[in-house]
Amino acid sequence: MNSELKNLLIIDIETVSVSSSFETLPENLRHHWERKALQLRNDDEKSASDLYFEKAGIFAEFGKIIVIAVGIFYEVEGEVALRVTSFQDHDEAKLLYVFKVFLETKFNQQYLKLCGHNGKEFDFPFLCRRMIINEVSIPQALNLSGKKPWEVQHIDTMDLWKFGDKKNYTSLDLLTSLFNIDSSKSNIDGSQVNKVYYSDNQGLMEIVNYCQGDVIATAQVYLKLKGLPVVKKENITRVDQ
């Protein structure tokens, strides 16, 4: 297997607002959200309450993680394969602790590389912030404290596509279209996760499937950006954790 794929873990997270509505948000946080809402683009002049349900999940101060999906490359009969699994829980503290143990027991922290799409701006810092809030110690592979830039083993497929263009944002879905890769989209998209989670008793498993799809798409995009063959469908395995 190509050396670039060794010790590489593809990651994607799904987040929702920390409470089902602005009205059920702890009182000490409500005025902070009202101030945040004033800073958000709001062409439709929506209320702080409406914006909370739509937007709070993307801010670590007002959102929580409900799913973490990961993908690991391996080799089968001389071909690259991908194993995808996920961690999911309504209890965020439990979810983060289980994920932390997974990282620390399954991988050598010194060599582990983490890869996500927009991971440097969203997934990785969101994970670290929510771990601090939930009093879960940050694993070495995620922790930037005291590390020099060249010691940080974080890879971002969006950064790879930017080629130094700081102002450019390209969605994962657009890259899958450009590269003729199967889209990660299922019956939902990122904008619907909050609604699905809070309105459907079976919503969590639908979100798990969507998150795993993003991991597969990110893995395939990474391979394309590195000039490597994508993983064949028959070599992609989803495993229950």
Note whether residue 38 is domain-resident. no
Mean pLDDT across 7-32: 95
Q: Which residues contact 142 (CB under 8 A, 6 or more apart)?
A: 103, 114, 124, 127, 128, 131
Per-residue 3-state assignment (H helix, E strand, C coil) for 211-223: HHHHHHHHHHHHH
Residue-level pLDDT at 92 = 98
Would you place residue 184 in the very low, low, confident or very high pLDDT band (cuts 50, 70, 90)? low
Query: Is a pLDDT exceeding 60 seen at residue 240?
Result: yes
Give the residue among 135, 218, 153, 154 at the shortest CA–CA distance from 183: 218
Does residue 201 have a pLDDT over 70? no
Query: What pLDDT sits at residue 145?
Result: 81
Mean pLDDT of 10-32: 95
Instruction: Check pLDDT > 70 for residue 222.
Output: yes
Q: Return the minimum-mean-pLDDT range out of 31-35, 159-163, 196-200, 225-229.
A: 196-200
Domain membership flag for residue 24:
no
Sequence-distant (≥ 6) Cβ neighbours of residue 19 within 8 angstroms: 25, 26
Q: According to the model, what pLDDT value does residue 150 have? A: 77
Q: Does 192 reside within a domain?
A: yes
Distance CA 89, CA 179 (A): 33
Answer yes or no: is 200 within a domain: yes
The answer to the question of residue 162 being in a domain is: yes
Kindly state whether residue 30 falls inside one of the protein's structural domains: no
State the CATH number of the domain containing residue 124: 3.30.420.10
Inter-CA distances, 233 with 24, 80, 173, 238, Å: 43, 11, 18, 11
Place of tokens 């809402």: 37
Tens digit of each residue's pLDDT (9 = 90 or more) over 107-140: 988 889 999 999 999 999 999 999 999 999 999 9
0.85 cut: is pTM over it? Answer: yes
SS3 152: coil
Task: Encode pLDDT of 42-57 as tens digits.
Answer: 777 788 999 999 999 9
Q: Mean pLDDT across the chain, nearest whole number? A: 91
In a domain, 46, yes or no: no
Number of domains present in the structure of the chain: 1
Torsion, Cα 50 27 137 239, to 10 degrees, reads -40
pLDDT of residue 45: 79
Q: Is residue 51 included in any domain, yes or no? A: no
For residues 124 and 163, the answer to whether their CB atoms sit within 8 Å is no
Residue 215, judged by CB atoms within 10 A of its CB (0-12, 13-18, 19+), counts as buried
Range of the domain at 87: 3-18+62-239
